[in-house]
Structure 1
Amino acid sequence: MSSSRHPSTLPTVGALAVAVLAVSSSAPLIKFALAPALAVAFWRNGLAALALTPIACGPRRAELRDVLRGTRRRDGVFCLLAGLALAAHFATWMPSVQLGTVATATALVATQPVWQGLIAAAQGRRPTAAGWCGIGLAVAGAAWATGADVGVSGRAVVADVLALLGGLFAAVYTALGERARTRLTTTTYTWICYGTCAGLLLVLCLAARLPLAGYNPGTWAAILALVVGAQLLGHSMFNYALQRTSATTVSVLILLEVPGAALLAWAWLGQVPRAEALPGIVLLLAGVAVVVLGAGLRRDTRDANASLADVADPSPR
């Protein structure tokens, strides 16, 4: 590997630190916001799409035109389907954060690479032996963490199930997005995805008669922080780092979101992770790390960066 892709330079280390902090703040901010989870998800994606509009409809307008009514309509279909999966992800994971604990919800949604490995296996691309081992560890850890919540309340168990579904839908989003991102720029792809996601979430909010305004200033500040932090800044910093280090390294570092979110929730919100769930969370994270490392070892550097880039994309959370 060339030195240009080695994470030794200060800008790369700084970018990774900012990105991990940005995505780690997501769950605590969702927990802090005094607004329905679906409404927060709508504003998060809608404002992010709005922020990308000047670029998508400016420098990228020719590409966008091809996607909407030109030669790349097939890519546009995959973008729309990815937006649907992204809406399902937010509609499950964000309520799980408000219903349960930040630490457990963040750990369970981090099973996304495990679901991606199972999707790849269903498509005929078998995981490595290390990948299967990691999947087993992650499943055992998830079962442990969820089982620890059985004795707490039915609400906690529902939160765990929603978080796992959030990880599954994030994997589906990634699988669909991978098809489109091979031919489209990141800006065009994310603009369509975020816009589609926001539109679907708006329909859900209106159908459920959820309030979309009238929040206190702290809640609006949390929503804006989600947009600027996890949705835009974290995404951008990880993409910057991916140009200078391996996607496998970045994907493993993203797992630092789990302890990072737990520490922020403890320091800021006074939410202490349940001791009974901690061993399961640690086992789960170890399994996910093995899955990611196994996927990276199976490919050469170029293929790994192409196929793992979406795993390293923090935009779903």
Structure 2
Amino acid sequence: MRIIFLNSMEKKSGEQMPSGAQVWIGEDEGVWRMGWNELTADEEDETVWYEGESWSELLHVYRHRLAVKLGEGFRPVIDGIFHEREEGKGKAALAQKLVFYSELNPNEALFTELSAWRRRRAAAERKAPYLIASNRLLRLISVFQPRTRDELLQLPGVGESKSAEYGDELLELTQQGERSFIFPLNWVEGTLVEEDFRSWLYKQKEVKYRVEMEKFGLRRVMLEAIAEGSDVEEMCRRTGLDRRETVELLEDLEKEGYELEPLLLAELKEVPEAEQTAIWQAYEELGDTFLKPVLQRVYGAELPAESNVEKMYEQLRLIRIRYRRQGPGVRSAG
């Protein structure tokens, strides 16, 4: 095997000698291999992270597995060539440190109150709770307890719009209890152990890269199914996704330029031609960003109770894929 990449890692533990490791990538007759060799006092333990023909898949696995090791405390002997560029300084870095601090110093009582407020608000507005505020934002508010609109705006995730819409209600909940610190929150950085913060950052990356790696795997399965002429139901069976998730992934594949026309025609063959034409015309008139206006234009604002709304939205998404590929005014018959 021809080694094309090799780098060394160290993990320090108190006053003990640092633990050593190496990450490597090799190639042999078109097959890529990647692994991790961890060195101990007695032996070398090798773990193969990837073996296959896809360089793209190897990179997804590499990022995820490397983030795991960095989160465990391993660091490259030579910085700057082993991983993507470290986060910069300024507001973005401070925002991450505020989130890290809030996870280290939770205020569960106030967080519970804020969560209850969010549930009430979401029910009243008929929105998903995360559209009102994320758990991360509620955690920040509960820990730093802003008392004024200006203080609220200093928390990452709060903009003028959210402050104007929900600020008064949030501040009413944060006025109670004592607060032992002041705004601005620049002091937070001085309370953190830098190495602990770096490990936390890499654990956040681990989650992000795991999602990307899993999505890449699903994408590969979908492409294989498309090449074999499978329908959406078979794709759901292979991937474990529901129909909506599968169609959304098909939309992503269309954006990447993959040919989906035979699949789309097969899935839409039961939809009457007049109905497909009406949907196409609605996209031309209303645009293809939002589905609800198109649904209402084609099927009416008040749908019968027995309507299969999920099925309607699926058809809208499938036709939207064709619309985006062919463009307004050039629809070909199914």
Asked whether the two chains share a fold, i.e. TM above 0.5, the reply is no
The higher relative CO (CA closer than 8 Å, separation ≥ 6) is in: 1
* TM-score, normalised with respect to structure 1: 0.23
Q: Which has the higher helix share?
A: 1
Question: Which structure has the bigger radius of gyration?
Answer: 2
* TM-score, normalised with respect to structure 2: 0.22
